Amino acid sequence: MLTQIAQTLDRGGPALWAIAALSVTTLALVLWKVWRLWRMGAWRAAPAEAAVTRWTDGARAEAIAALSGRTGLRARVLRVAMTERTARDEATAREETARAARAALHEARGGLRALDLIVTIAPLIGLMGTVLGMIDAFQALQASGSRADPAALAGGIWEALLTTAAGMGVAIPASMALSWFDSVADRLAHDLEDLATRVFTAGRD
């Protein structure tokens, strides 16, 4: 099995080997990103909602205590919003909350630049491999002259086109994963803004 894979990669040349490396990198990035978002609590909004409910009910100390020890992004930003709103004036508290939210969103979007780069360069590497393969095929056709074997020419062309297909095969799922992660980050940004707004609206004396 491994021998067959190596032979297929050899047919595509260095470009196909580079695309294979990108496919492994893409899979690793996606799995790492899912794990990171899970650790950040990207899909766990219930604790933050419960804390805001306590805050709006007037139980400020209980709301802050409910967030103690939680490492989720929503909980971290809410903890800053509540503690700053209790200890400082509203303008300063809002600025500190905005700073914490920006840091949280930057953390949530970590690694997306690398995935975006793979989406961009994988098809280009595949196209470059195809162009180089076509050049080799037509050079062989020119050298053979009138004795050209159509079957050999067709074999060279499909091997050249293999890199384009492989590049698209990496770029398409990477693009889908990137869009999903972007939607998760956008949802998180909306939740952070909504939760912080509710804290400041209900927290006015």
Where do the domains of the chain lie? 13-202
Instruction: State both tokens at 66.
Output: 């409910």
Of 116, 86, 112, which Cα lies nearest the Cα of 34? 112
What pLDDT band is residue 90 in, cutting at 50, 70 and 90?
confident
Decide if 40 contacts 107 (C-beta within 8 A): yes
Q: What is the pLDDT of residue 11?
A: 66
Instruction: Report how far residue 56's alpha carbon sits from residue 36's, in angstroms, rounded to the nearest whole number.
Output: 31
**Model pTM?**
0.83
Residue 131's Cβ-count burial label (10 Å; 0-12, 13-18, 19+) is middle
- b/e code 23-57 from CB counts within 10 Å (16+ = b): bebbeebbeebeeebeebbbeebebbeebbebbee
Q: What is the pLDDT of residue 155?
A: 57
Q: Report the range of poorest mean pLDDT among 13-27, 59-73, 145-159.
A: 145-159
Q: pLDDT: is 146 or 49 the higher one?
A: 49
Instruction: Report how far residue 79's alpha carbon sits from residue 117's, in angstroms, rounded to the nearest whole number.
Output: 35
pLDDT of 13 above 60: yes
